Amino acid sequence: MMDGKDKSELQARLQALVQEHRDLDAAIDALITQASCDLLQVQRLKKRKLKLKDEIAAVQDMLIPDIIA
């Protein structure tokens, strides 16, 4: 069972991950709109964004455990 401290730490981690995901989205959009767009950089940022999405899902799973019926 998770105590309040663990839950608040996970919620803080989740918030940080979501914010980083949003920031990467904005950075990718900014890079794409530039005339001299570095496609390799965009690709790396998109890969990082996907990893963040997986981390976000993992933390959410920890916060909301499956209900065993």
The predicted-structure confidence for 43-69, as pLDDT tens digits, reads as follows 999 999 999 999 999 999 988 876 665
The answer to whether position 67 is within a domain reads no
pLDDT at 57: 95
pLDDT bracket for residue 4 (50, 70, 90): confident
0.95 exceeded by pTM:
no
Q: Which amino acid is at 54?
A: D
21 in Cβ contact with 51 (< 8 Å): no
The answer to whether position 52 is within a domain reads yes
The answer to whether position 30 is within a domain reads yes
CB atoms inside a 10 Å sphere around CB 62: 14
The answer to whether position 13 is within a domain reads yes
The answer to whether position 24 is within a domain reads yes
Q: Which amino acid is at 41?
A: Q
28 in Cβ contact with 50 (< 8 Å): no
The answer to whether position 66 is within a domain reads no
Structurally, the chain folds into a number of domains equal to 1
The answer to whether position 69 is within a domain reads no
Write out the residue range of the structural domain in which residue 19 sits: 4-61
The answer to whether position 17 is within a domain reads yes
Q: How many angstroms separate the CA atoms of 41 and 33, rounded?
A: 13
Q: Which two tokens stand for residue 6?
A: 């663990």
